Structure 1
C-alpha cells in the first residue's frame, strides 16, 4: 500500500509539472501573439467602436475556446481569442502613446504587471498553498466591479473610474494566486483553460495598472 501511495504521489507530481509546463509555454505564446495583434491594431488606428466590437467578439471567442478546450481544435480557438483580444487593445494603447510620456507609461505598466505576475506565481508554485477559499469572494468582487463599471459608463466619474481600476488590479492579483493554486493542487487539469485564466489575469492587470498610471500622469 505504501509503494502504491508513493507511486501515485510521484505520478501526480509528474502530471502537475507537465500541466505547468504546457500552461506557461502556451501562455507565453498567446501573450506574444496578442502583442503582435495589438501592434497591428495600433498600426490600423482602430477607433473606439472598432475596439468595442473586437472586445465583444473576443468575449464570444472566449466562450467558444472554453467549450473547445478538451478538443483538438482548442489550440486554434485560444489563439483566435487572444489575437482578437490583443487587437482590441490597439485603441487604448494609441491613446496612451499620444501622451507626452505615453510609451514610458505603457512599459512601466507592462513591467509592473510582469513583476507582480511572476512574484505571485512563484509564491503559489513554491508554497503550494490552496487559495480555493477565495473563490466566492473573487466571484462576488468581479460582479460588483462589472456592475459598477456599467453604471459609470453613464455617470462618467473619473474618481469612480480610478477606484474601479484599483479594485480590478487587486482582484487580478488575487486571481493570479487563485488560478495558479488550482493548477498546482489539481483543481484545473486542462492546460488550455488554465492558460485562458492566467492570460485574462495578466491582461486585465496590465490594463488596470496602465489606466491608473495614466490618470496619475494626467494629474
Structure 2
C-alpha cells in the first residue's frame, strides 16, 4: 500500500511539474511577443532615453514589490504583462540607436539569433538530461552582485572622472552573457525538479535571463563591429 501511494504521489508531482513547465513556456512566449510589440511602438514614437530609464525603474519596482504579492492571485498575469511591456518599451531607444548604424539591422538580428540559440540549447539540455543545477545558485548570486557593483562603479568613474570604460563595459557584457546562461540552466532546472511551482514567477525569471542576454550580446556585437 505504501509503495502504491508513493508512486501515485510521484505521478502527481510529475504531472504538476509538467503543467508548470507548459504554462511557463506558453506565458514566456506571450510576454516576449508583447515586449516586441511595445518595443516596436517605443521605436516608432522615438521614445527618449529618460523615459526609457523611468520605465525600467518602474519595471524593477513591479518585480520587487508588486509581483511577489500578486503571483498567486488573479492579478498576477496583468502584472506580468505590465512588467514585460515596460521593459520591452524601454528597449526602444537602444534599438533605434543600433538600427541607425550602417549594419545595425544585422547586429540586432545577430543578437536575437544568438539569444535564441543559447536559450533553446541550454533549455533543451536541461529538459533532456533533467540535471539538477541548484548547486549553481550561490555562485550565480555572487557573480550577479559583482557585476552590478562593477557596472555601478564604472558608471560613477565615467560620469565624475571621465574614465574611458568602453573596454570594461565589454567585459561586463561578457560576464552577463555567462551569468544569464548559468541562470537559464538554474531556473529551468528548478522548474523541472519542482523547486519553482509558480509558473508566473518562473516566467519572470526566464524572461529576465533572455532580456539581459539579448542586451549584453547586442552590446558585444556592436562594440566588436568593424563599423
- Structure 1 length normalisation: TM-score? 0.98
Mapped partners of 2:150, 2:46: distance in 1: 29
Deviation at 1:28, TM superposition (A): 0.2
Q: Match of 1:127? A: 129
Aligned: 1:47 with 2:48: yes
Q: How does 1:135-154 map to 2 (within 5 A)?
A: 135-154=137-156
Whether 2:199 is the aligned partner of 1:199: answer no
Which string of whole-angstrom CA distances, capped at 9 and with x for unpartnered residues, describes residues 67-86 of structure 1? 21011100000000000010
State which of 69, 82, 102 in structure 2 corresponds to 1:100. Answer: 102
How much does 1:154 deviate? 2.5
Q: Name 2:162's counterpart in structure 1.
A: none
Does the alignment pair 1:75 with 2:83?
no
Is 1:115 matched up with 2:139? no
- The size of the alignment, in residue pairs, is 219
The Cα offsets for residues 22-41 of structure 1, whole Å up to 9 and x where unpaired, read as 00000000000000000111
> Whole-Å Cα distance in 2 between the matches of residues 218 and 50 of structure 1?
31
Runs of 4+ in 1 over 3 A off after TM superposition: none
Question: Aligned to 2:132, what secondary structure does the other structure show?
Answer: coil
Task: State how far apart, in whole Å, the 2-side matches of 1:21 and 1:197 are.
Answer: 15
Structure 1 segments unaligned to the other structure (5+ residues) = none
Shift of 1:66: 2.6
Structure 2 partner of 1:159: 167
Unmatched 5+ stretches in structure 2: 159-164
Matched residue of 2:73: which SS?
Answer: coil
The 2-side partners of 1:5 and 1:59 are apart by: 42
Q: Which deviates the most, 126-135 or 167-176?
A: 126-135
